Amino acid sequence: MSLILRSLSASLRTTMRAELAHTRAFLIILALLVPALAFAQTAAGISGVVRDGSGAPIPGAAVKVVNEAANTVVDLFTDAQGAYRVETATPGAYRVEVTLDGFEPAVRRVIIVAGQSPAADVTLVPARLSEAIVVTARRIEEIAQEVPIPIAVITARQIENAGAFNVNRLQQVAPTIQFYTTNQRNSFLNIRGLGLPFGLANDGIEVGVGMYVDGVFHSRPAAATLDFVDVERLEVLRGPQGTLFGKNTTAGALNITTRAPNFSRREGDFEISYGSLNFVQLKGSISGPFSDKVAARLSFSVTDRDGTLLNVRTGEDTNTLDNNGVRGQIRFLPTTGLVVTVAGDYTRQRPNGFAPVVAGIAPTRRAANRQFPQIAADLGYRLPSTNPFDRVIDTDTNWQGEQDYGGASVTADWRLGHGQLSVIGSWRSWDWLAVF
């Protein structure tokens, strides 16, 4: 009996030692895990998944996490599952910016609290247009790609880069436009070869291509010889536009929109250009608000250039440029949804221009004694040159062509529900004097 008890006591001591060893091992492991678990609970981070509109993950999207207080930035990309994660231990406000070509940029703001890891999932929507161009070809503001008519839109930057300061120079940017002029009155604007025949200087004939500036119709073709003043964009509408623009647009319309007064801040810009033949052009504009409901804009353009031809008889330059223009706008916001714009413009042209140059002598069916060379010999006259690139003439005619053009307009735009009522009233004046 005593032997059995001693055996049980030894076995019990062995078992207790083993249990004690296991307990000690457990306590050691627990001591090691507790700090790690505590760190995992206090460590903060931002994670999320970037998806498209259908809910599918988007890999390769650029994610920028910005600490708005410290202004620190972490850049990374989403993985194959569209997921991203940023580890940070600093609580505070963060901004998550997600970008990807073909999608509109998305921004999420999150606040990290100690011990929390908020999720910031982002859904990207396809970009509508990389560079949306708003036009008024149908009397309402629309995206150019949504207008179901043949249209070419030329922005102010394109006009400036091409040096197209008038319609004549615009042909370099929009080849469908053809502009012909021998003087201000005998000027014709055609689109795709359609409009009015060149050389038919009859002021009673209606134009075939309508020219509109901020919705105001400019009935005289001479308006196309003027310099652009503070243009925002220009729309070339090809084909008949009589439904919205009237019967004077059987071949198309040139719809010009100028820059509007700025209600948000005061701004101004000034530009000077210099070129050959002492070409000098000054452009400038200032704009800004007078109050929350009134803003104004004043713009001007001055162009001057020596002549391209030399009159060897008088010693004067011919075909010079001397254009001055000014335009002013005042915009009112009387009530919500109502915009009233009062505009006025004036342009003065005093060029010593519009002289032709001899390009050559062509024989006719007349008798030899009635051909030009014989007639000139009988009169003792000799041309200064028959090469047009010599750019010389010898006339005693004053080629001065004076033009004064201007007017005023009042435009009221009133939003009514989902539509808009626009009323335009204008007055135009044209004074042309030919001194040749």
In a domain, 25, yes or no: no
> Nearest 5 degrees, angle CA 55-CA 61-CA 65?
105
Place of tokens 């060897």: 312
Over the chain, what is the mean pLDDT? 82
In a domain, 424, yes or no: yes
> Which parts of 79-132 fold into alpha helices (H)?
none
What is the average per-residue pLDDT within 211-217? 92
User: Are 112 and 141 contained in the same domain?
Assistant: no
The pTM of the whole model exceeds 0.75: no
In a domain, 237, yes or no: yes
Examine the pLDDT at 284 and tell me if it is beyond 90.
Answer: yes
What is the average per-residue pLDDT within 349-355? 88
At 404, which amino acid appears? D
Q: What is the pLDDT of residues 66-95, one digit of tens each?
A: 888 888 888 888 888 889 988 865 788 888
Place of tokens 């009673």: 204
Burial of 308 (0-12, 13-18, 19+ CB in 10 A): middle
Q: What is the pLDDT of residues 96-115, one digit of tens each?
A: 999 887 778 889 888 888 76
Examine the pLDDT at 166 and tell me if it is beyond 90.
Answer: no
Res 8: pLDDT:
35
Residues forming beta bridges with residue 196, ordered by sequence position: none
User: Are 211 and 248 contained in the same domain?
Assistant: yes
Res 1: pLDDT:
41
Q: For residue 397, what are the domain limits?
A: 272-435
What is the average per-residue pLDDT within 271-298? 94
Place of tokens 């599952």: 81
Res 128: pLDDT:
57
> Which parts of 228-324 fold into alpha helices (H)?
242-245
Those residues with Cβ within 8 angstroms of residue 55's Cβ, 6 or more apart along the chain or in another chain: none
Q: Percentage of the chain with pLDDT > 70?
A: 85
- Alpha carbon of 101 to those of 98, 129, 158, 258: distances in Å? 11, 11, 25, 32
In the structure encoding, which two tokens stand for residue 329, read together? Answer: 């706008």
What is the average per-residue pLDDT within 424-431? 94
Q: Percentage of the chain with pLDDT > 90?
A: 36
Res 27: pLDDT:
46
Of 56-60, 203-207, 413-417, the poorest mean pLDDT is in 203-207
In a domain, 266, yes or no: no
The tally of domains found in the chain comes to 3
User: Are 138 and 207 contained in the same domain?
Assistant: yes
User: Are 139 and 106 contained in the same domain?
Assistant: no
Of 99-103, 191-195, 210-214, 286-290, the poorest mean pLDDT is in 99-103
Q: What is residue 338's DSSP assignment?
A: E
User: Are 93 and 147 contained in the same domain?
Assistant: no
Res 117: pLDDT:
76
What is the average per-residue pLDDT within 324-338? 93
User: Are 321 and 390 contained in the same domain?
Assistant: yes
Which of 88, 123, 158 is the C-terminal boundary of a domain?
A: 123
Examine the pLDDT at 386 and tell me if it is beyond 80.
Answer: yes
In a domain, 21, yes or no: no
Q: Longest Cα pair distance anywhere in the chain, in angstroms?
A: 166
Q: For residues 255 and 232, give the distance between their C-alpha atoms in angstroms, rounded to a whole number.
A: 11
Res 12: pLDDT:
39
User: Are 286 and 212 contained in the same domain?
Assistant: no
In a domain, 16, yes or no: no
In a domain, 35, yes or no: no
Which helix (DSSP H) or strand (DSSP E) does residue 273 occupy?
strand 267-275
Q: For residues 249 and 137, give the distance between their C-alpha atoms in angstroms, rounded to a whole number.
A: 13
CATH code, domain carrying 68: 2.60.40.1120
User: Are 337 and 414 contained in the same domain?
Assistant: yes
In a domain, 312, yes or no: yes
Q: For residues 399 and 307, give the distance between their C-alpha atoms in angstroms, rounded to a whole number.
A: 12
- Alpha carbon of 230 to those of 109, 268, 300, 316: distances in Å? 40, 11, 8, 33
User: Are 298 and 429 contained in the same domain?
Assistant: yes
User: Are 427 and 301 contained in the same domain?
Assistant: yes
Pairing of β 316-318 and β 294-305 = unpaired
What is the average per-residue pLDDT within 167-171? 83
In the structure encoding, which two tokens stand for residue 225, read together? Answer: 């010889």
Which of 92, 123, 154 is the C-terminal boundary of a domain?
A: 123
Nearest to 244, CA basis, from 205, 208, 219, 215: 215
Examine the pLDDT at 143 and tell me if it is beyond 80.
Answer: no
Q: For residues 153 and 133, give the distance between their C-alpha atoms in angstroms, rounded to a whole number.
A: 8
Examine the pLDDT at 288 and tell me if it is beyond 90.
Answer: yes
User: Are 279 and 410 contained in the same domain?
Assistant: yes
Q: What is the pLDDT of residues 110-123, one digit of tens each?
A: 888 876 778 889 99
Of 11-15, 154-158, 210-214, the poorest mean pLDDT is in 11-15
What is the average per-residue pLDDT within 319-328? 94
User: Are 171 and 308 contained in the same domain?
Assistant: no
Examine the pLDDT at 19 and tell me if it is beyond 80.
Answer: no
Q: Which residue has the higher pLDDT, 38 or 306?
A: 306
CATH code, domain carrying 155: 2.170.130.10
Q: Which residue has the higher pLDDT, 375 or 13?
A: 375
Sign of dihedral through CA atoms 8, 14, 20, 23? negative
Pairing of β 294-305 and β 279-289 = antiparallel
Examine the pLDDT at 137 and tell me if it is beyond 80.
Answer: no
User: What is the DSSP track for 19-82?
Assistant: HHHHHHHHHHHHHHHHHHHHHHHH-EEEEEEEE-TTS-B-TT-EEEEEETTTTEEEEEE--TTS
Which of 90, 123, 156 is the C-terminal boundary of a domain?
A: 123
In the structure encoding, which two tokens stand for residue 415, read together? Answer: 């939003």
Distance of CA 431 to the CA centre of its chain: 34
* Per-residue b or e along 207-219, where b marks 16 or more CB atoms closer than 10 Å to that residue's CB: bbbbbbbbbbbbe
